[in-house]
Structure 1
Amino acid sequence: MDNNPEFEPVYDEVEKYEQFPTQDERLFASLIYILSFFTSIIGPLIVWLIKGSESQFVNKTGKDYFNSVISYTIWFLISTVLMLVLIGFVTFVVLAIMHFIFSIVAAVKAYNGEKYLIPLSIPFLK
């Protein structure tokens, strides 16, 4: 019976299951993005500081969120400078729409337990 391959445990599936974020981890990770619509930086920062040390998934999601905030701030500053050439008005609106839509997508992906980096984000925090 010990030599029968049918009864050998499959450790890869167990490890994958243990690495999948729990319901609470996924909830707090998505809460980072949801709170960003109401409190911009303060709400996500509080969630990240409190739960980031307890969960690797929440910590990674918090870093991804703040990478996107820093990056989009840089892109908005560049767009503001480009307003002198009039193209900045278009890029500013496009960036605002992109950030809004990708934040919703990121919240859904975080709730599903997937890692997601918002497009145009520069990885400052690793």
Structure 2
Amino acid sequence: MQRLVTDPNEKLWGMLTHLLAFSTFVGIPLGNVVGPLIIYLIKKDEYEFVAEQGKEVLNFQITWSIIFIVSAILIIVGIGLIMLIGFGIAWLVLVILGSVAANNGESYKYPLTIKFLN
């Protein structure tokens, strides 16, 4: 059975771990990985929920960074742009779903994710 987090600070830091993936849009190279990594490193020992969700977010962001790089390369053969748009929309929806779940104190497992961190 999944544990539901009730501590508001723990939920807030868990949600921020997901939301900081958007830092890539403010000009931070690989901000989608760097933002969540910073929260994970600072708060993982303080909050079990942040440690768990931090690993989940980092695995997802690393996996999808690879997907986006491959899609960008495939622009050369014509299919990459369609892939970037489709994967971009999916990425956006999944990050929002993860953020909402964390704000509700629920663990979120991203689909289509390689487990780099256990």
Which TM-score applies when normalising by structure 2? 0.81
Q: Which has the higher contact order (CA 8 A, sep 6+)?
A: 2
Which residue is equivalent to 2:9?
A: 24
Greater Rg by CA? 1
Q: Percent identity?
A: 37
Deviation of the 1:118 alpha carbon: 2.1
- Per-residue CA distance 1:1-47 (angstroms, 9 max, x = gap): xxxxxxxxxxxxxxx8xx53222111100011222213523332222
Alignment of 1:1-80 (within 5 A): 19-21=3-5, 22-38=7-23, 40=31, 41-80=33-72
Q: What TM-score does the superposition give when structure 1 sets the normalisation length? A: 0.77
Tell me the residue number matched to 2:27: none
Equivalent-residue separation in structure 2 for 1:53 and 1:89 (angstroms) = 41
- Residue 109 of structure 1: CA displacement? 0.5
Secondary structure of the 1:83 match is helix
Across the aligned residues of Structure 1 and Structure 2, the Cα RMSD in angstroms comes to: 1.8
Gaps of 5+ in 2: 25-30
Aligned length: 109
- 1:20 corresponds to which letter in structure 2? L
